[in-house]
Structure 1
Amino acid sequence: MASYTDIITVRSKNRMEVIDITDLVEDSVRKSGISSGICLVHLPHATAALIANENESGLIRDIIRKIKEEFVREGWEHDRIDDNAHAHIASSFIGASRAFPVVSGRLMRGTWQNLMLVELDGPRERKVVITVVGD
């Protein structure tokens, strides 16, 4: 069994935004040379999240709107330290990792399923850790 890890950097431009990283992850899977296995994509950050969904502008706006509705920017105890408690809480509920099967050297995902980094406290530079394990 082989393993391959790639760490890429993504820069956000806004306080909250969704960035499609599908092509970057697909490139890492190709570079791994692994034909069959698992690809883990992880964000080592407490104020960013990772989703798998359709990259359609209306849906992206809906996702951002829902995050803002659910995780309002005021009234949190952590805000005494930083003004980003909403980002920490949203990341905790959405999650910072996703795993996908690798089949025939490709990331196995649905037709409308892209991997997207959700920036919750930008603008920032974010690391994306991609680990592929298999044969």
Structure 2
Amino acid sequence: MLAQAPARPPCLHAAQSRRALLARSSRPLRSRTAALYVTASASHLPPKPSVRIASGPSAAPAGSQPVWLYHTLEVPRTAPGISLVDITPQLRELVAQSGLAEGTVHVLSRHTTTALAINESEERLLDDVRQFLSKLAPASDPYLHNDLHLRPAPEDWPGGWAAWAAQEPRNAHSHLLSMLLGNTLAVPVTGGRLALGTWQSVLLVELDGPRPRTVGVQLAGLVPGAGSGAGAARD
């Protein structure tokens, strides 16, 4: 008579049964869930927008020559706090004076508490921008940069630390906003005009006024040669 194998303890048998059940049920469940997820995601994807090239490449003027010109725009005094200055008319004037036909206007905000933006220059919208930026980085919040008593004065500052601290603004919020908004822009020029949209303007964003400010502008591209009609008109 064959000896019977010892019976497994009930607790061990139950544990093994649960593990086997979980192993069998988990595989189909994961695959079904993954399939449902993929199907649902694919069915709710928005249609891809159609994009086409609306115009061909602009032609270089006959006998054109390259040009690189640098100018500085000056704002003698900005408004207090946060303000926006539309510099689009000045940029258009520089393009017209240079005779630039095809190229780019590069604009640089030359301060750590100003910025540049392209948007609509509508007065009530500009008020909205001012209020939004004030909430985004409140001037009254605590900032390490504003702890002047913990900062050393620049070397050889006339009058030492006291003189430096007396004129140093507590403007950390302005620096942060400048970093978020950016300090450079590039605007294409084609056909002798800035290729801005209908409602677009180039705006200097003052974040710590009132102050005198400067903006660097470089025009790079092609101007018609001296023998062309456009060149003769500029002489």
Could you say whether these structures have the same fold, taking a TM-score greater than 0.5 normalized by the shorter chain as the test?
A: yes
Aligned length: 135
- The residue identity in structure 2 corresponding to 1:99 is A
- The residue identity in structure 2 corresponding to 1:76 is Y
Question: Which sections of structure 2, spanning at least 5 residues, go unmatched?
Answer: 1-65, 149-168, 223-235
The equivalences for 1:13-28 within 5 A come to 13-28=79-94
Rg (Cα) greater in structure: 2
Distance 1:19 1:31 in 2: 22
- Looking at secondary structure, tell me which structure has more helix per residue: 2
The equivalences for 1:48-127 within 5 A come to 48-73=114-139, 74-81=141-148, 82-127=169-214
Question: Which sections of structure 1, spanning at least 5 residues, go unmatched?
Answer: none
Residue 17 of structure 1: how far off its partner (Å)? 0.7
Distance 1:8 1:71 in 2: 28
Point out which structure has higher relative CO (alpha carbons under 8 A, 6+ apart): 1
TM-score of the pair, normalised by structure 1: 0.95
Larger deviation, residues 26-35 vs 122-131: 26-35
Distance 2:99 2:119 in 1: 26
Kindly report structure 1 stretches of 4+ aligned residues shifted beyond 4 Å. Answer: none
TM-score of the pair, normalised by structure 2: 0.56
- Looking at secondary structure, tell me which structure has more strand per residue: 1
- Is residue 2:92 matched to residue 1:5? no
Residue 13 of structure 1: how far off its partner (Å)? 2.4
Distance 1:103 1:34 in 2: 8
- The residue identity in structure 2 corresponding to 1:48 is T
CA RMSD of aligned residues (A): 1.0
